A = this chain, B = another copy of it.
């Protein structure tokens, strides 16, 4: 195997590996210091099994075009062209190159490509939290579609905090994502960080909790309709004093659901009692407090529904603690059907959101926005009311 004298291929590899190892040891500049995480108090750790270690082998660098070129004794650009079936390259060389690439399991270095093309093929995704089924299911949908287009997901959580949302946007920007798909945190009531993205023409898509809908493609749920369905269902079941635990008032989802509450009551011919509409910040304690307040009313509600299942599960617990029967005395309905809604007793009626579709659609809009910077559109998906035990009085 001939090597050019100034290259000395196999030894070069070893040297590079050693070099890069040495470089890592050196701690460099202080201008962008990496803050170190203090060792967390892991009271759970009990014992540690140490295993035998193996003798170190030199780390293998990923294969580059140069490696292939050297091995075949042709130029890098020929290899590059051969790999993409460039018509200029002779069939024999093309075949030889492609065979070797396959055999050596060559994959192009995305960093080099990214530097050249000014793109990372990564989409930043920011969700309020990672642990709610609603979001993780949407992430699944985004991931699936993105993967099919050869893109990766860079995931960030805002933990429902606007501050951390801003930080996440900035971090993803530092990582040079090609764009972002975002669900606002519950606190978010300023949008400067997103306006910056828009001004810089960085593709952006919102889902579920939206803002700036006249400039950003969005995927939303028809919240108004979903709530109207709930009211109608309650009304048909003979419930008359329908109470609603809503969300933070600045969120579009709260706004739309309240609108649905009002119009739903009106359509059903029911009076609106302001006492029975309470916003909350999605905290467990609030749910309990509000339930307490309602039960203390001279005319307590006979039906309760809320901004999400989590809140409603707490309401159910509170009702059960007081010996109030569901659904006989009080009907209950959740929102954004978690998969465990069927595990409660009684099983929880809830609106089911097409979460995977939300994710897929959001990703779809994202790619449209990439291709056409002027593209703006809000896609509205319908939620389904899934009737179970908690809202149906047996006759």
Contact = CB atoms under 8 A, between A and B. Distances in A.
A70 interface: no
Nearest to A85: B30
Contacts of A154: 122, 152-154
A48 interface: yes
B120 A131 contact: no
Given A52-B376, A214-B51, A85 B29 contact: yes
A148 B37 contact: yes
Assembly stoichiometry (copies): 2
A122 to B, nearest CB: 8
Contact of A381 (B30, B46, B110): B46
Interface string A1-33: 000000000000000100010011000111110
Nearest to A360: B40
Contacts of A395: none
A31 B345 contact: no
Contacts of A85: 29-31
A56 to B, nearest CB: 5
Contacts of A35: 148, 150
The 5 tightest CB contacts between A and B, nearest first, are A29-B84, A345-B345, A37-B148, A59-B201, A53-B374
A338 B232 CA distance: 33
26 contacts: A34-B150, A35-B148, A36-B148, A40-B360, A44-B354, A45-B380, A49-B377, A50-B376, A51-B213, A53-B375, A58-B201, A59-B201, A60-B199, A107-B174, A110-B175, A110-B176, A111-B114, A130-B137, A130-B139, A131-B140, A139-B155, A143-B155, A143-B156, A152-B154, A155-B155, A340-B343
Nearest to A354: B44
Interface in A143-182: 143, 145, 147-150, 152-157, 171, 173-176
A328 to B, nearest CB: 15
Contacts of A60: 199-201
Given A42-B361, A340-B340, 4 more contacts: A30-B84, A130-B136, A131-B339, A345-B345
A219 to B, nearest CB: 10
Nearest to A61: B118
Contacts of A115: 109, 111-112, 115
A58 B85 CA distance: 33
Contacts of A122: 154
B62 A176 contact: yes
Contacts of A375: 53
Interface residues of A, number: 112
Nearest to A203: B59
Contacts of A153: 154-155
Nearest to A30: B85
A133 interface: yes
Given A60-B201, A171-B147, A377 B51 contact: yes
Interface in A311-331: 313, 316-317, 320
A104 interface: no
B37 A145 contact: yes
A357 interface: yes
Contacts of A84: 28-32
A117 interface: yes
Contacts of A338: 340
A170 B176 CA distance: 22
A344 interface: yes
